Amino acid sequence: MKIGLLSPFLPEKDGIAIYSNNILIGLGGKRKDIVTIGRKGSKADYIIDFRSFSLKKDLENIIKKENLDAIHIQYVAPFFSKILNLNLLSALSLPIPVIVTLHEVHYLIRNLKDSILESIERQIIKKSNLVIIHTPKQKEFLEKKYKAHNIRYIYHGLNLFKTHKRKGNNLLCFGMISKNKGVEYLIKAMDYLPDCKLTITGNFVDKKIEKEIKSQLKFSKAEIKTEFGWIDEHKKSQYYNNADLVVLPHVWAPYQSGILHNAVAFGLPVVAAKTGALWEMVDLFRFGEVVKPKSPKALAEGIKEVLNNYSRYKKGIEEYRKVANWEKIAKDHLKVYREGIK
């Protein structure tokens, strides 16, 4: 069995690049039976242009040269075009089985862009041999919506780090900062949390949200520290090791969050807004609290609940760490690959 893995790869500053690298690490590192296919900026066996209309032809050439048995595509819409992804949809008709991981599942259609992404999602499920998603609820939703029988779920993986004892009431909000992340609601929630300290870190997606958040911070009287920009893995570990609780105040999240999984990897409970798929594993394994989105008061109440009953969430954290470590997740991928090429 020889698989082509199409994805961004390190050293790209991208969460999916980290995700795919962790699959490889979970499989034991560089393997002759996994051929990596990346884009410019990736360190991979082959570099191609994901957005090119020659994508299908480029993949066919690699399939022939490497004698691949299947292609596994890590799908996030912007990798392949700004919106239509026509080159990707064409590339799904390859001479070997195609497996696609949907890192986003669109429960809610809010506008034209969401309608287009939903249409692409439908076509990917129709054309792919197998589709991988990350939660049981996502699987149930897609099977019902599209009457699909090719959906498989594999939990989002965890790198397991040494857990530490609680230090205090230190809150962490980590990751890319956009209008969908709801950071403004968390800053307002700090008005209800005088005994807590908050750290906000990450890259701004655009200048507008950067201006809004920095302006809001100027007027906040809460104890809030910030570091804006790309955070490398070493510094990321420092932030998680200094935290007691991770907060995800998102207002839109059709994906499973790497930030949430980093929290569990470090043994930290979370408070997550009930939006998209973000909250599903929190609810399933009970390693934190799920709260109403766009509500500073609800965020504050969820944070207080976790801090006041901290030990309650330890069991859920440990259970999820057992079933979602990268070694197990990598083996689960191998099972899907074998199924896909039967």
For 124-141, write each residue's pLDDT tens digit: 999 999 999 999 999 999
Structural domain harbouring 81: 3-157+325-340
Say which residue the tokens 């039967």 belong to: 342
Q: Which two tokens stand for residue 9?
A: 């790869």
**Dist CA 59 CA 78 (whole Å):** 19
**Dist CA 59 CA 43 (whole Å):** 17
For 1-22, write each residue's pLDDT tens digit: 999 999 999 999 888 999 999 9
Residue 96 in this model has a pLDDT that exceeds 90: yes
Query: Mean pLDDT score of the chain, rounded to an integer?
Result: 94
Residue 30 in this model has a pLDDT that exceeds 80: no
Which range (32-46, 247-261, 306-320) has the least confidence? 247-261
Say which residue the tokens 């929190």 belong to: 282
pTM of the model: 0.89
The enclosing domain of 189 has a CATH number of: 3.40.50.2000
Q: Which two tokens stand for residue 105?
A: 């599942």
H helices of 190-287, in order, are 207-219, 233-241, 258-265, 280-285
36 and 86 share one domain: yes
148 found inside a domain? yes
279 and 308 share one domain: yes
184 and 139 share one domain: no
Say what the pLDDT of residue 41 is: 94
192 and 102 share one domain: no
Say what the pLDDT of residue 279 is: 95
CB-CB contact of 107 with 276 (8 Å): yes
Query: Phi and psi (nearest 5°) for 82?
Result: -70, -30
130 and 176 share one domain: no
189 and 269 share one domain: yes
Say what the pLDDT of residue 159 is: 86
233 and 94 share one domain: no
Say what the pLDDT of residue 13 is: 86
9 and 125 share one domain: yes
Rg (CA), the chain: 20
Average pLDDT estimate for 147-171: 93
17 and 150 share one domain: yes
Q: Checking phi first, is residue 76 left (phi over 0); if not, alpha (psi -120 to 50) or beta?
A: beta
For 205-243, write each residue's pLDDT tens digit: 899 999 999 999 999 999 999 999 988 888 999 999 999
Length of the chain (residues)? 342
**Dist CA 62 CA 340 (whole Å):** 19
Q: How confident is the model at residue 342 (pLDDT cuts 50, 70, 90)?
A: confident
**Dist CA 35 CA 53 (whole Å):** 22
**Dist CA 219 CA 184 (whole Å):** 12
116 and 104 share one domain: yes
Average pLDDT estimate for 300-317: 96
Element (H, E) at 143: helix 136-146
25 found inside a domain? yes
Neighbours of 299 (CB within 10 A): 29
**Dist CA 342 CA 337 (whole Å):** 9
